Amino acid sequence: MTDSRKRRSLLLVNPRRKHRFHWDLKEVCEIMGKKNAITPLALPTLAALTPGNYAIRIVDEEIENLDPGTLNPDLVGITALNPNVKRGYELADAFRRQGSTVVMGGPQVSFDVERTLEHADAVVVGEAEGSWERLLADFESGRLQQIYRAAAFPAFTRQPAPRWDLIDTRAIMSIGVQTSRGCPFACDFCSVRRMYGPRQRYREIDNVIEEIAGLPIKHLTFVDDNLTANKPYARALMARLKPLRVSWVCQASQEIAFDTPLLQAMAEAGCTAILMGFESVNPDNLRDNNKLHNRLDLYDEAVRRIHAAGIHVLGAFIVGFEHDTRAAFDQVYEFATRNGITYLQFHVLTAYPGTDLYDRMSAAGRLNEVDPDLLNGVTPTMQYRHLSQVELFEGYFQTLERLLDYDGVREKALRVLGNGAFSKEHEAGIGLRDKFVSFSHLVRRFLITTDRSRRRLFLDLVGLARKRVVSMSVVVEYLLFVSSLRGYVDYLNRHRAEILETIRRTDRGPYEPPAGPAPDGQQR
C-alpha cells in the first residue's frame, strides 16, 4: 500500500573527518578497491525508522563527496562524532542557507546541544527510536521543536532491518550489527554509559539473525560495547550464527578468555578478532578509572587463551592516565611484545564531552582548547599529571613506531600464527579476485623490496602457510593489516609537525595539584 501523505525528501549524512583514526585501514581499503572500512550504523537505522512518504538518500562522505549546492532536500539529518562535528556544522549551515531544515544527532551533539543549535534547527539527544518518529511528525505539521529527548531508553527488543540498500556496500569492507545497547561499567573516560544507560538491553535473537541473513556482506562488525556480557544470550547467538558462515569482530571483556566453551563457539561461529580494552598495565590507573573488572594479573593468560582459540586479540591501550610517567610507554610496548599483540588500538587519553573525565578535568581547569578536527585519540586534550602534552605525544608516536617495527612484528607473528590455531580458512574468506589483488600487493610491498625485515616477515609467514601451520588467508589478512597500520604511522609522520605546533600552543606542562586534600577525597 502506498503512503498517501505528502512526498518529502530526506538526506542523511555522515560528515568526513579531516584526520585519520588509528584503525581506519585506508591502505587495505584502497588495495581491495573499497572506500572505507565501515559506514556508521546510525544512517541506515534512521532510514529504516522513516515512513514511506520520504525519498531517502544517504551520503557517507568517507565514501563519496557531498556538494550541498547540488542538492535541495526538505530535511537533512546529520550524525556527528567529535572529529567530524566541524564538518557537520559546515554542512548544516550550508543546507539551512538553501532553505532545508537541518536536524543533528549522535554522541557529540547529544552532549553539546546549545552549540549544535547554533547550526541546526533541531537536535536528537541520545537514541533515535521514538524521538525520530516524533520529530518527523512535528516537521510535517510545522511544529518542529528544538530538542528531542526520549523520556526513557527504548526497549530495543526488535529493530527494523537497517536500509543497507541505500548505501553502496561494495565500497565498504564490513557492515555493523548491534545486538545490545548500554553498559554496566562506568569507565571514567567513556561516554557509553551516559549515552545508552547502565543496563544492557538486548534484541531478540531471531530479529538479529533475520537481519544478518539478509546482509549483502558477510564480514560483520558487532558494535556492541560488550557482545558476551550476557553469557546465555551469547551462547544462543553463537549457535544461530554458525550456520550463516559469516566472519566478524567484536568487543568483549577479559572474562571471555576464561569461558572456554563460549570462546570456542565464537571461533566456530566466525569470530576473527576481539577488541579488548586493557587500557593500562598500571593497577592504580585501572582503579582510578573504574576499570575494576580488569584483572591485571590475568592479562597475559587471557591473551594466550584467546590466541589459542584462533582469534586475534585487538588490544586497546591508553597513555596519559594520572599515574603514567615516561615508563608507561615501555610498559605498553613490553606487554604487547610479550603477548604477540600486533593488532592494537593505541591512543592518548582524551577528555571527550559526556565523560566523567571531561567533567573532572573541566572542574580542575585542566582542559585545553583543542580543534575538534584533532580529537582522534592522538592529540592531548588536557594537562596530564606527570607529562607535558608535547612529551605525551612524542612518547606516543615513538612507541607506536616501535610497536609496528617489522622485526618486532615478525617476532610477534611467528609466536601467534605459529601456534597452529589459525590454520582454518574463514568461512567468509577473501574472494578469488581479492586474493589475487591483495597477494600481488603484498609481493610488491614485502618481497620486491630492499628492506630485509619486510622480506623476512613475508617469507617466514608464507613458509608457515605452505607447511599448513596457518591458513594463507590469515597470512594475507595479517600482512594487509600490518601494511595499513604502518601506513597510519607514515600518515602521522607527514602531519607530525602540524600536530606538534598545535600542541605547543596550548601546552602548559605537567599538572601540579594545589596543596591540601582534594574535595571529598577525590583525585584532582
On whether the CB atoms of residues 348 and 319 are closer than 8 A, the answer is yes
On whether the CB atoms of residues 296 and 283 are closer than 8 A, the answer is yes
Question: Mean of the pLDDT values across residues 157-161?
Answer: 96
Helix, coil or strand: residue 295: coil
* Residue 122 cell numbers, joined: 533541531
pLDDT of residue 518: 57
Question: Mean of the pLDDT values across residues 40-49?
Answer: 96
On whether the CB atoms of residues 438 and 476 are closer than 8 A, the answer is yes
pLDDT band at residue 184 under the 50/70/90 scheme:
confident
219-222 and 247-251: which strand pairing? parallel
Give the chain's length: 524
Q: Is the sign of the CA dihedral 371, 377, 378, 383 positive or negative?
A: positive
Question: How deeply is 432 buried, as exposed, middle or buried, from its count of CB atoms within 10 A (0-12, 13-18, 19+)?
Answer: exposed
| Residue 426 in this model has a pLDDT that exceeds 80 | no
| Residue 519 in this model has a pLDDT that exceeds 70 | no
H helices present in 228-275, as ranges: 231-241, 260-268
Q: Rounded distance, CA 298 to CA 235, Å? A: 23
Question: Mean of the pLDDT values across residues 4-13?
Answer: 90
Tell me the average pLDDT of the chain.
93
Return the number of other C-beta atoms located less than 10 Å from residue 401's C-beta: 13
Return the number of other C-beta atoms located less than 10 Å from residue 165's C-beta: 12
| Residue 97 in this model has a pLDDT that exceeds 70 | yes
On whether the CB atoms of residues 60 and 40 are closer than 8 A, the answer is yes
Listed in sequence order, the residues at least 6 apart from 26 whose beta carbon sits closer than 8 Å to its beta carbon are 20, 484, 487, 488
pLDDT of residue 524: 47
Listed in sequence order, the residues at least 6 apart from 437 whose beta carbon sits closer than 8 Å to its beta carbon are 31, 32, 33
pLDDT of residue 3: 59
User: Which has more pLDDT, 104 or 377?
Assistant: 104
Distance (Å) of CA 403 to CA 109, 274, 335, 339? 35, 19, 10, 12
pLDDT over 90 for what percent of the chain?
Answer: 85
Question: Mean of the pLDDT values across residues 310-329?
Answer: 97
| Residue 516 in this model has a pLDDT that exceeds 80 | no
pLDDT of residue 502: 92
Predicted TM-score (pTM) above 0.85:
yes
pLDDT of residue 428: 58
Which DSSP symbol is given to 314?
E
| Residue 243 in this model has a pLDDT that exceeds 80 | yes
Q: Rounded distance, CA 138 to CA 143, Å? A: 5
Return the number of other C-beta atoms located less than 10 Å from residue 284's C-beta: 12
Range in 86-100, 136-150, 484-498 with the lowest mean pLDDT? 484-498
pLDDT band at residue 521 under the 50/70/90 scheme:
very low
pLDDT band at residue 1 under the 50/70/90 scheme:
very low
Long-range contacts of 167-170 (CB under 8 A, 24+ apart): 167/39, 167/43, 167/44, 167/58, 167/60, 167/63, 168/63, 168/64, 169/216, 169/217, 170/34
pLDDT over 70 for what percent of the chain?
Answer: 96
On whether the CB atoms of residues 192 and 229 are closer than 8 A, the answer is no
Helix, coil or strand: residue 502: helix
Q: Rounded distance, CA 17 to CA 234, Å? A: 34
Q: Rounded distance, CA 412 to CA 409, Å? A: 5
pLDDT band at residue 436 under the 50/70/90 scheme:
confident
pLDDT of residue 292: 83
Backbone angles phi, psi at 176, to 5 degrees: -80, 140
